[in-house]
């Protein structure tokens, strides 16, 4: 069994990579940044791709597409983050959440996975949950740090999983997941050594000279091991529900 994933605000594909490690299949990506598009094309050459979330619905519906089980995405955090202007979820950048919600409404997946900075909990989580509820979803949410899956840095991020009412059991959110839920890539602190360099998609700048673009893309990327942790739970619960 697999779940088909449509990724919005795909960046360099951190969410997709983690979800694929959990057993899912990427069937579409939306990303506006030219450098990130090059990275996605290198690692997902056969996956259809679009460059603007504001027209994602028209693009996806323009020809026959596979059914989408999961819509995932980390919508822009610039208006939410402490480092930004704090305009909130209605700001020019973070307000693109509405476009993600419209895509979910049109595609009608079974699940939605949303990623953003931890401070979203007090600067727009109510809006996101309200929109998801209007679309017929219940939701679980929590903060997961990269260091909880072996990374040598904190990188706290809020994840929201929207699902059909009554789906699954209680989820393990927070900073102390079971390390056995994730297949380590390299050796993390819990294995007695530093992380090795991630070959995909972190090592992505082959043939691309712009270090600034690379660092910007990496800074915005989702840690794949965290996405894998969530994806494995989702796959496990989906299989249990289908049994």
Residues with a known catalytic role = 77
Given a contact cutoff of 8 angstroms between Cβ atoms, the answer to whether 151 and 195 are in contact is yes
Given a contact cutoff of 8 angstroms between Cβ atoms, the answer to whether 26 and 20 are in contact is yes
34 by DSSP, 3-state: which?
A: helix
């Amino acid at each position: 069994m697999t779940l088909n994933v449509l990724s919005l605000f795909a960046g360099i594909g951190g969410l997709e990579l983690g979800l694929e490690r959990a057993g899912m299949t990427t069937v579409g990506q939306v990303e506006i940044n030219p450098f990130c598009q090059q990275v996605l094309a290198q690692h997902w050459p056969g996956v259809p791709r679009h460059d603007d979330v504001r027209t994602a619905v028209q693009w996806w519906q323009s020809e026959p597409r596979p059914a989408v089980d999961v819509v995932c995405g980390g919508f822009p955090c610039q208006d939410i983050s402490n480092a930004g202007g704090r305009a909130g979820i209605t700001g020019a950048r973070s307000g693109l959440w509405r476009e993600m919600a419209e895509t979910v409404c049109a595609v009608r997946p079974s699940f939605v996975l949303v990623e953003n900075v931890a401070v979203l909990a007090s600067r727009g989580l109510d809006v996101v949950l309200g929109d998801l509820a209007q679309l017929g979803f219940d939701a679980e949410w929590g903060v997961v740090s990269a260091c909880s899956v072996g990374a040598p840095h904190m990188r706290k991020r809020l994840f929201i999983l929207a699902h059909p009412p009554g789906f699954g059991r209680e989820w393990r959110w927070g900073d102390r997941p079971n390390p056995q839920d994730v297949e380590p890539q390299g050796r993390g602190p819990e294995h007695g050594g530093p992380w090795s360099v991630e070959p995909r998609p972190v090592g992505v700048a082959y043939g691309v000279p712009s270090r600034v673009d690379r660092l910007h893309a990496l800074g915005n990327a989702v840690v794949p091991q965290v996405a894998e942790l969530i994806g494995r739970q989702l796959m496990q619960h989906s299989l249990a529900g289908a049994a």
